[in-house]
Amino acid sequence: MRTALKRGTLLLVGLCGYGVSMAMMVRAGLGLDPWDVFHQGLTRHTPLTLGMASAVVGVVVLLAWIPLRNRPGIGTVANVIVIAVTVDATLAVLPAPSALPVRIAMMIGAVVLNAISTVLYIGAGLGPGPRDGLMTGLVARTGLSVRLVRTGIEATVLAAGWLLGGTVGIGTVVYAFGIGPLVQLFLRLTPRSLLFHDFSGGRARADRDPITTMGEWPQGNAPTRQPATTETEPTPTC
């Protein structure tokens, strides 16, 4: 029970932080990450808010899991709902700064918060987000590399979002090149007791759910999972 509570807390804190970081990037006005460029582009042509656009896209992406035979977890559903609510709530109270130094600081802070939040919500081991699952599912089914699949997906949504009027700028570049190293940094700094997702590709600790990660099957061949005794029922993931 204590482990389940800890994992749920990590998930919610991570997802809320992720939503706040999205709103900070928007208010900074210096460019968004590829998926949010697409989400913002949709808001230019529909009555949807950014959070609603994110949720709608998340549901559509989940439908793409069906032919990929992915299975969502609790965290997958929470990802769609919590981030959508949090980003809209934050945008409602967070003003847009006018001074360029403040905008730059907000953008950098958003990328850092996004990385920390990513470690927390994925570290909870309760299921990947819809977009992460799409990427890993395509890797598993096509045999293509993670780098190629991720680049293809993000280039596509970035181009579509830009054509729809989404904000592309220096923040987009900073996010693209900074998020990976920052996630790796915070993974090293985060106590192992707070991570229930096997980022290393090795066997999970006894009280962790043996989650398949991108690093475990870069060539598209998912390894056979080893049974593990868990304190809670394992959550199905992709």
Q: How far apart are CA 150 and CA 145, in angstroms?
A: 9
Q: Can you give the pLDDT at residue 216?
A: 34
**For residue 220, pLDDT beyond 80:** no
Q: Mean pLDDT throughout 116-133?
A: 89
Q: Can you give the pLDDT at residue 83?
A: 97
| 3-state secondary structure (DSSP) of residue 97 | coil
Please provide the average confidence, as pLDDT, over all residues in the chain. Answer: 84
pTM: 0.80
Q: Mean pLDDT throughout 132-145?
A: 87
**For residue 137, pLDDT beyond 90:** no
Closest CA to 19 of 90, 102, 69, 116: 90
How many other C-beta atoms are found inside a 10 Å radius of the C-beta of residue 168? 19
Q: How far apart are CA 21 and CA 15, in angstroms?
A: 10
User: Percentage of the chain surpassing pLDDT 90?
Assistant: 58
Q: Mean pLDDT throughout 75-90?
A: 96
Rg value, the chain, Cα: 17
Give residues with Cβ within 8 angstroms of 33, minimum separation 6: 25, 114, 172, 175, 176, 179
Q: Would you say 179 and 108 are in contact if contact means Cβ atoms under 8 Å apart? A: no
Ranges of H-type helices in 69-144 = 74-93, 100-123, 130-142
Alpha-carbon dihedral angle through residues 81, 86, 92, 96, given to the nearest 10 degrees: -130
Give residues with Cβ within 8 angstroms of 60, minimum separation 6: none
User: Percentage of the chain surpassing pLDDT 70?
Assistant: 82
Ranges of H-type helices in the chain = 2-28, 34-45, 50-68, 74-93, 100-123, 130-142, 146-164, 170-189
In sign, the C-alpha dihedral spanning 170, 171, 175, 181 is positive
The model's pLDDT over 91-113, given as tens digits with 9 standing for 90+, comes to: 999 999 999 999 999 999 999 99
Q: Can you give the pLDDT at residue 231?
A: 39
SS (H, E, C) 116-127: HHHHHHHHCCCC
Quickly state the pLDDT bin for 200 (edges 50, 70, 90): low
Q: Would you say 235 and 79 are in contact if contact means Cβ atoms under 8 Å apart? A: no
Q: Can you give the pLDDT at residue 123?
A: 87
Closest CA to 208 of 137, 116, 126: 126
